[in-house]
Amino acid sequence: MKTTALRIIGYALVLCLVACGFWYWINITPQVKIPTPVMPSPNGYDYFVRAGAAFVSDDKGVDEVTDIEFVKGKKYPLAAKEAWLKKNAKAFQLLREGLKYPVLHPAVRSFSALFPEYAKFRGLSRALEIESHARGERGDWNGAVQSALVDYHFGNQVASGGPLIAGLVSVAIRAMSLRELGNLVPHTDTTTAKMAAFSMEKIYDQRYPSYKNWQEEKWLKIAATLELMKNPSQLLHNSSWRMGIIRAFDISIFDYPQVLIISKRKLLYNMAKSMDAKIENAQRPYLKQQPLTTSGYPLADAMLPDDKRARWNWARSDTQSVEIMTMYALRAYKMEKGHYPANLKELVPEYLKKVPIDPFDGIAPLHYQLQGNKYLLWSIGPDGVDNHGTPIINFNKKGRARHLLLFPDSKGDVVAGINIP
Residues in the chain: 421
| Domain covering 315-421: architecture | 2-Layer Sandwich (3.30)
Who has greater pLDDT, 177 or 300?
177
Give the model's pLDDT for residue 119.
Answer: 94
Predicted local distance difference test score (pLDDT) of residue 295: 62
In sequence order, what are the residues at sequence separation of 6 or more whose Cβ sits closer than 8 angstroms to the Cβ of residue 193?
Answer: 185, 328, 329, 331, 332, 335
* pLDDT(20) > 80: no
The pTM is what?
A: 0.91
pLDDT, average across residues 130-134: 97
The predicted pLDDT at position 311 comes to: 86
Q: What is the mean pLDDT of residues 113-123?
A: 92
User: What's the confidence (pLDDT) of residue 236?
Assistant: 61
User: Averaging pLDDT over each range in 113-122, 249-258, 261-270, 373-382, which range is the top one?
Assistant: 373-382
The band of 405, judged by pLDDT with boundaries at 50, 70 and 90, is confident
- 227 Cα distance to chain centroid: 26
| pLDDT number for residue 296 | 65
Q: Report how far residue 245's alpha carbon sits from residue 206's, in angstroms, rounded to the nearest whole number.
A: 39
What pLDDT, on a 0 to 100 scale, did the predictor assign at position 158? 96
State pLDDT tens for residues 246-299.
Answer: 766 677 777 677 777 778 888 888 889 889 989 999 999 998 988 766 666 677
Question: Using omega within 30 degrees of 0 as the cis cutoff, is the peptide bond preceding 349 cis?
Answer: yes
Of the listed ranges 142-151, 237-246, 369-378, the least confidently predicted one is 237-246
Parse the chain into domains and list their residue ranges: 44-194, 213-305, 315-421
Going edge to edge, which strands form the sheet with 414-415?
367-371, 374-379, 414-415
Least confident of 69-73, 206-210, 307-311, 393-397: 69-73
Q: Is the pLDDT of residue 316 over 70?
A: yes
CB 279 within 8 A of CB 215: yes
Q: What's the mean pLDDT in 74-83? A: 93
Write out 139-182 in H/E/C secondary structure. CCHHHHHHHHHHHHHHHHHCCCCCCHHHHHHHHHHHHHHHHHHH
Cα–chain-centroid distance for residue 58? 25
Beta bridge partners of 378: 367, 415
Whether residue 341 is predicted with pLDDT greater than 80 in this model: the reply is yes
The arithmetic mean of pLDDT across residues 290-312, rounded, is: 75
Minimum mean pLDDT among 31-40, 238-247, 327-336: which range? Answer: 238-247
What's the number of CA atoms in the CB half-sphere (13 Å) around residue 123? 21
237: pLDDT confidence band, cut at 50, 70 and 90?
low
Across the range 139-160, mean pLDDT stands at 97
SS3 413: strand
- Cβ contacts of 53 within 8 Å, gap of 6 or more: 120
198: CB partners within 8 A, 6+ apart: 351, 352, 353
Question: How much of the chain, in percent, has pLDDT values that exceed 90?
Answer: 61
- The larger pLDDT score, comparing residue 109 to residue 324, is at 324
Taking residues 211-220, what's their average pLDDT?
95
* pLDDT above 70 for 1: no
Confidence of residue 5 (pLDDT cuts 50, 70, 90): confident
Q: What residues have CB less than 8 Å from 206, skipping those under 6 apart?
A: 156
**pLDDT value, residue 267:** 84
Residue 305 is given by DSSP the state -
Which uninterrupted H or E stretch holds 232? helix 232-236
pLDDT, greater one: 203 or 404: 203
374-379 and 414-415 beta bridge pairing: antiparallel
Helix (H, G, I), strand (E, B) or coil at 283: coil
The mean per-residue pLDDT over the stretch 164-176 comes to: 94
Q: Does 12 or 24 have the greater pLDDT score?
A: 12
